[in-house]
Amino acid sequence: MNPTQAAFEDRVASLEGGVAALAVASGQAAETIALLNLAENGGHIVSSASLYGGTYNLFHYTCPKLGIEVSFVNDPDDLEAWRSAIRPNTKAFYAETLGNPKGDVLDFEGVAKVAHDNGIPLVVDNTLATPFLAQPLAHGADIVVHSATKFIGVTERRLRRDRRRRHVQLRSERSLPPSPNRTRATTDSFSPNSRRRFSRPLRAQGSVAVLARRRRGDHPV
């Protein structure tokens, strides 16, 4: 087990209110792993059409090659459209909290109710909202996926960079004679190499994505 990865998984599971998370190489890998655990050859998924383009391509072009058919609901607010897209082999509903790039907000509870009435789990991509704005698991979703190279990763990276800069600045302030340009000089004193060194491990972390699951006892299916 990689302890850095485990810490990241624990934090994201905790932010989302899930019991566990799994860090993988990318957001698209997280989506794929989540859905391949639910659907297999011969399975069917119903998805909102308000999706990140790469996810649309995964569903429209790649899933059929694996024997998984995906039906798209053009208006995700139309709960009847979700209901009527269900087939006997439907294994999952899929949607984004905030559709990328449209920015429309998912009716978590409405869509989750249609899914759960039919024994189907709801998978939500919470990348654009982050758990700071929305916690899909608290509103009926069963699995959450993230692309951690977006807000959730960048925020962490920024915080660490700012903390590191502040630390270097304080250290320099203690050792340098007073100067009106001191703050500027210390902030600018990062060479391109030192910048790269500080940000490398954080960038690696930024390429990770997660799945979070609801408490087992709460699972509707």
Ligand X SMILES: Cc1ncc(COP(=O)(O)O)c(C=O)c1O
What is the distance, to the nearest Å, from the Cα of residue 7 to the centroid of all Cα atoms in its chain?
A: 16
Binding mask 87-106 for ligand X (x = CB under 6 A): ---------x---x------
Considering only residues 45 to 74 of the shown chain, the ones binding ligand X according to CB under 6 A are: 52, 54-55
User: How many residues make contact with ligand X (CB under 6 A)?
Assistant: 14
Binding mask 128-147 for ligand X (x = CB under 6 A): x------------------x
Of 185 and 204, the one with the shorter C-beta distance to ligand X is 204
Contact call for residues 107 and 76 (beta carbons, < 8 A): yes
Dist. CA 164–CA 200, nearest whole Å = 13
Considering only residues 14 to 43 of the shown chain, the ones binding ligand X according to CB under 6 A are: 26-28
DSSP 59: I
Of 22 and 86, the one with the shorter C-beta distance to ligand X is 22
**Tokens linked to 111:** 């869509």
Closest separation between CB of residue 26 and ligand X, Å?
A: 3
